[in-house]
A and B are shown apart, each in its own frame.
Chain A
Amino acid sequence: MPADTVSSGPSGDGPGTVPGASSWRSLWRLRSYLRAYVPHMVVSWSAALLGIAAGTVLPLVGKDIIDGPVTHGDRAALLPLGLLALGLGVAEALLTFVRRWAQAGPVLGLEAAIRDDLYRHLQRLPMSFHGEWQSGQLLSRVTTDLSAIRRFLGFGVLFLIMNILQLSAVTVVLLRMYWPLGLLVAGSSVPVVLLSLRFERRYILISRQVQDQQGDLATLVEEAAVGVRTVKAFGRSAHVYAGFDRGATRVHATSLRKVLLSSRFFTFLEVVPNITLALVLLLGAAAVGAGALTVGMLVAFTTLVLQLVWPVASLGYILAMGQEAMTAADRVVEVLDTTPEIVGGPEIVERPRGHVRFEGVEFRFPGTDRPVLRDVWLDIRPGETVALVGATGSGKTTLAALVPRLCDATGGRVTIDGHDVRDLSLESLRSVVATAFEEPTLFSMSVRENVTLGHHDATDQDVREALEIAQATFAYDLPWGLDTRIGEQGMSLSGGQRQRLALARAILGRPRVLVLDDTLSALDVETEALVEEALRAVLADATGLVVAHRASTVLLADRVAMLRDGTIAHVGRHTELLASVPEYRALLAQDADLDPEEALR
């Protein structure tokens, strides 16, 4: 059911967003996306101008008909004037059509182009960025924010100028016809503009509040949905419901305030032109009586007064739109301005042997002073496999992530065959290094595409081999075999099945360097043994770095490096460490009561 839209998530701002500090600058920068559409824009703007002219002149023709032929009984003059009105009416409609048609390109093209660029940029940004940003926040930037920008740049700006022009044109016409009345009409628009500006400010505030509360509610919904097993296991539905109910009631209350506010404003918006109409009628009729104004003029006046309602009322709305677009542009530009810290270098490894070295590596998260890794020295010779062990939080996963440059060392360096990984092109580096993670990521696509993620040129034979090694041949028995779509949008697989597919993906194409980050944790003992057996053959050729929690996985390795407090405390063979390092024994021997002598056997 692909029509299901993912919610844009809580409306929370991303890290680093400065609220309220929006300016034209970000929006102005995005104008370059409109460059391709200059001809479209010239056409639509010209059509808009001419349309305004036609729309303003039309009531004047009505005036001429009433004051001319009707008043003087001039039947002959009626037809040409009527035809003129018809022509103007048709012209106005046609011009509106041209304007809208020509607008499609810039309005929609702008949005699509920025979205493509955002996506491209996001794919280049490193894990450190993605770790900080929820995908929901990013999503709201490529959807909600882009629509806001599109609406304003494509629509809002045009309407803003059109409305101001229309307002001025009609006012000038009215002033020239009969200045006291013209002045009255122009004057009546002043409170409307002022009030709508004020209203918009309050409206935006309250709308944001509703949005925030809806975001909170969405978070509750999300937790209740994702954590439904836990909620059920503890029978806490009532508790969770009560929380939701509080949130929903809050949204309800704020929304009512919003309803109240807008009901007052919209009423005001409608009552002002009506009162103006009454005054125009009073004064106009008096002027007609005094001979200062013709009846036709009075009729034209009343029509034109009504014509002004929309441009005046919408000014506030459009300005609010602009405000929104500016904030949105800030948020979009913020992402576009984040420089990808991890970019490829110029070098490539011609014939990789897979010699991995950590040379005095240090890693700390930005803004923290305690390093996760410090002074790590490790030399993994081509073809050798090293297991990485250590208690939870000792930095194993971070160390493993440094090899394919999912993050960069903040000190020291990692080399492959003597090349600093930072000097290698990402393409080259990541084709030499393949990684499988503890939490396997599968995408909503066929099993085949999931497995051949990094190698679309893999043959069926390659795929079969990889699946066999990873004990993932169950994939052939899925309803559509390897073409079965899996992932959130497809068939759901068990944790173990997912891990095995992710493993197959990593070993496909026989990478020179294989990084396995506790890849087998969700497998049962029997399957794990089978996978390990098969992995042995793969690791015989490749250089391996294997994060391990269990002794059985450690046995895949030639040597073991034990991490403690972010640095390598011991390196050696499993049996040596087991015998000589009590800490290692405590970490890996499954049972404390188990005699180490016995475990060795």
Chain B
Amino acid sequence: MSGDWRGVAAENRDDITESVSLLLRARSRRLLGDLLRPHRRAIAVLTVVIVISNGAQLALPYLVKTGIDSGIPPLTRGGGPGTLIAVVALVLLAALTQAVTRQAFLRMSGRIGQDVLLELRRRVFGHFQRLSLSFHERYTSGRVISRLTSDVEAISELLEAGFDGLVTAVLTMGGTAVMLLVLDVHLGLVALVPLPVLMLFTRWFRRRSGAAYRRTREAVALVIVHFVESMTGIRAVQAFRREPRNQEIFERLNADYLEANSRGWRLVAVFMPGIKLIGNVTVAAVLLYGGWLALDGRVTVGVLAAFLLYLRQFYEPMQEISQFYNTLQSAGAALEKLSGVLEETPDVPEPSRPAPLPRAAGRVRFDAVEFAYDGGPPVLPMLDLEIPPGQTVAVVGATGAGKTTLAKLIARFYDPVAGRVLLDGVDLRELDEATLRRHVVMVTQENFLFSGTIEDNVRFGRPDAPMEAVVEAAQAIGAHGYISSLPAGYRTEVGKRGGRMSAGQRQLVAFARAFLADPAVLILDEATSSLDVPTERLVQRALRTVLADRTALIIAHRLSTVEIADRVLVMDAGRIVEDGPPDRLLSLSGRFARLHRAWMESLA
């Protein structure tokens, strides 16, 4: 029972085969290399700095040994403290060197990390902006957001904590091993005997925790998705008494998450004491064997002390590695996803040599256009259409007839599969983004508002517009009265995504925005659907004048729009089945006449 409520359509696409994941790793490696390349020299310096820093740190136990072995005997023999003071001075010097280099390392690596992060953010955001609408429709905004927030943060976490930890751990461990052997080969070998065990143990942990961590992430994602969805849809939840079932589902997801979390926890609960065990056993062995050697005078007490200090330096960072793996893994996963996004190519690419079109009259032509969404069945089988400059065209037809597709092709949200869409005789694919958008603007029923003031939102259509132009645009569509009645007028904050305004009010602002942009071709896709009738009528009256000297394509369920159209296209299954001035179509008693009659009847 547990899984079926989610439906089969959610088939997990995360189960990638080993070979694919290898490929992914290569891809994210390339991205990483690419991001780090500008910092090559800094990284080289960094390497030198970190080696010095570790050398200084490694020198300390050795100096303690020298202090004990060579500094103390002169004292007991009544000699001078010269050697001891020299050693202590060296210790201080080493400590100071270590401090200076360490700080330099932390600063430099921190700066590189932040630079990389900034560059990554810029690249990914810019790339998302470049990718076409078809990509965004497939990918959904939620995933775009999580790429740019949680994934980037996962990488930032690695850069902040993990990187330093890893480098230090590796260098310390390597250096310590060498020093142990230098101090005393026999004792050193004994101390290093557990090394293979240690490596096997770490490998075991890395594998198991990798799986456990992935499960945890998946489990928490499900918890979050369910939570967000039930909170955003709380009205429906309460109205339909869904709470008990929701609670059941949530508790189960939460318990799954708890279980996944516990697994990871238990692994760490084995790993960290395990490392400690190996470390402590080694210390005991060194004490025993070292003590035995010391009895025969084959090692000095100083060597013994140095060993104890080195072993501590060796095993301490090992324990922290368990934390590090998680960071590394989530950063790796994030990098894979990000590099995947960066690899996407826009379906609607910018032309390499854009055609100039400084002024557009607004002549739109479809030349043998065919269109299908992503390999699906053809939505527009074969379309020829010519819209002369200045004409207002209403497109009607049932849902799925292809009206919106037609509009999106003119706005070049998509490119046709075959044929061409032309503006003033220029193929849209030859126009660069800026030129195209200056001439063609589309207003949809979404009418998204950005947080900021109403003025900002209207000006989104033309950022350099003076205030008078903003007011003019609002006046033209009859929104001025409403906006002026607000407490702060044009400076009223619209709230998050325009949350403080009704759908109709948002639509008015979106309209004003489009008019301010002053395009040669204006496309209105269901742009009046949220207005109440009197307001819609006002807008329509305004449209008559606003659309007088520009080409317009209007899509609306409500036929009232037709009243202002010079021409009506009736679409059915991607074809234009009727085309002509409204009066003529009405007299033909075809589809449009039928639709119009049905609509008239619906009015009363």
Contacts and interface: CB of A to CB of B under 8 A. Distances in A.
A435 B233 CA distance: 13
Contact of B118 (A130, A238, A248, A391): A248
Contact of B231 (A94, A135, A525): A135
A86 B266 contact: no
Contacts of B12: 1-2
Contact of A228 (B102, B107, B141, B225): B141
B321 to A, nearest CB: 16
Contacts of A274: 60, 91, 94-95, 98-99
A82 B284 contact: yes
Nearest to B496: A134
Interface string A86-112: 101110111011001101100111011
A6 B287 contact: no
A370 interface: no
A441 to B, nearest CB: 4
B122 interface: yes
A484 B8 contact: yes
B92 A70 contact: no
A599 B220 CA distance: 58
Contact of B121 (A83, A226, A248): A248
A59 B307 CA distance: 13
A338 interface: no
A286 B81 contact: yes
Contact of B224 (A143, A277, A446): A143
Interface string A50-61: 000000001101
A524 B558 CA distance: 8
A3 B236 contact: no
A464 B446 CA distance: 31
A230 interface: yes
Contacts of B447: 230
Interface in B81-113: 81, 84-85, 87-88, 91-92, 94-96, 98-99, 102-103, 106-107, 110-111, 113
B583 to A, nearest CB: 15
B262 interface: yes
A302 B64 contact: yes
Nearest to B144: A225
Contacts of B75: 285-286, 288-290
Given A6-B146, A227-B450, A249-B118, A488 B229 contact: yes
Interface centre among A97, A245, A249, A601 (most CB of B within 10 A): A97
B117 interface: yes
Interface string B444-480: 1111101100000000110100000000000000000
Assign chain A's interface to a size class: 35 or more
Nearest to A143: B224
Assign chain B's interface to a size class: 35 or more
B295 A69 contact: yes
A116 B254 contact: yes
A227 B103 CA distance: 44
A270 B98 contact: yes
Interface in B194-251: 217-218, 220-243, 245-247, 250-251
Contacts of B150: 5, 7-8
Contacts of B529: 521-522
B72 to A, nearest CB: 5
A576 interface: no
Given A235-B437, A406-B239, A591-B560, A61 B399 contact: no
A499 B279 CA distance: 65
Given A139-B227, A240-B129, A485 B243 contact: no
Interface centre among A249, A427, A496, A524 (most CB of B within 10 A): A524
A433 B224 CA distance: 30
Interface string B477-518: 000000000000000000011000010110000100100010
Nearest to B136: A228
A298 B76 CA distance: 14
9 contacts: A3-B218, A7-B149, A226-B497, A235-B436, A249-B118, A285-B75, A289-B76, A302-B305, A551-B602
B265 A234 contact: no
Contact of B239 (A218, A266, A435): A435
A225 B287 contact: no
Contacts of A225: 128, 136, 141, 144-145, 148
Interface in A505-547: 505, 521-529
A588 interface: yes
Contacts of A491: 9
Interface string A560-601: 000000000000000000100000001111111010000111
A521 B235 CA distance: 19
A282 interface: yes
B125 A434 contact: no
A68 to B, nearest CB: 9
Contacts of B329: none
B96 to A, nearest CB: 8
Given A7-B145, A130-B231, A241-B126, A299 B308 contact: yes
B7 interface: yes
3 cross-chain pairs, A with B, having the tightest CB-CB distances, nearest first:
A235-B437, A289-B75, A89-B280
A157 interface: no
A298 B236 CA distance: 72
B294 interface: yes
B9 A484 contact: yes
A489 B236 contact: no
A289 to B, nearest CB: 3
A472 interface: no
Contact of B228 (A139, A229, A282): A139
Contact of A601 (B74, B121, B604): B604
Interface stretch (A20-28, A179-187, A252-260, A312-320): A252-260
Contacts of A116: 247, 250-251, 254
B22 interface: no
A210 to B, nearest CB: 10
B68 interface: yes
Contacts of B285: 86
Contacts of A130: 231, 234-235
Contact of A485 (B10, B133, B245, B265): B10
A502 B237 CA distance: 12
Nearest to B234: A130
Nearest to B140: A488
Contacts of B125: 221, 224, 241, 244, 248
A523 B400 CA distance: 12
Interface stretch (B28-36, B375-383, B415-423, B532-540): B532-540
Given A271-B96, A392-B532, A406-B235, 13 more contacts: A78-B292, A108-B258, A226-B497, A267-B102, A278-B92, A302-B308, A433-B239, A444-B6, A486-B9, A505-B240, A528-B602, A550-B602, A601-B604
Contacts of A525: 557-559, 595, 598-599, 602
B380 to A, nearest CB: 17
Interface in B262-278: 262, 265-266, 268-270, 272-274, 276-277
A452 B447 CA distance: 32
A14 interface: no
A101 B266 contact: yes
A288 B130 contact: no
Interface in B119-144: 121-122, 125-126, 128-130, 133, 136-137, 140-144
